[in-house]
Amino acid sequence: MEYTRLGKTDIEVSRVCVGCMSFGKPTMHAWTLDEAASEQVICHALDLGINVFDTANCYSSGTSEEYLGRALKRNQIPRDKVVLASKVYFNEGRLSKEAIQREIEGSLKRLGTDYLDLYIIHRFDYDTPMEETMEALDGLVQ
């Protein structure tokens, strides 16, 4: 596996990332993988040297994050050996300060971790001032 740095950070990431939209209960799509099949994919990716997993608060009503978090825990994968990314937008309040705070707390709980390596805005929110969104994200970093 080839690795590179995430932006200007010292976080080393595999050049291949596992998108986790296909993990979770079939609340969004009939083609989602159950927990056992999701765990097989996650473990195989780790065996191949892939260390980046990209999910979202809305994927399968949060069960994508739950499946990923439980698979990492069951397989005793040290938190510093994986790079976890999640997204925010499809929720009440979209990218308001209150919504971002609520949704990050939910994502962290579902993933069973106390931090994300990367938090991604899933869509632009035309109803929330950009300054409010950026202040909320900066607050998370701080």
Supply the residues annotated as catalytic. Answer: 59
The secondary structure of residue 47, as a DSSP letter, is H
Residue 127, amino acid? D
User: Exposure pattern of 33-68 as b/e (b: 16+ CB <10 Å)?
Assistant: bebeebbebbeebbeeebbbbbbbbbbbebbbbbbb
Contact yes or no for 14/53 (Cβ under 8 A): no
Phi, psi of 33 (to 5 degrees): -90, 140
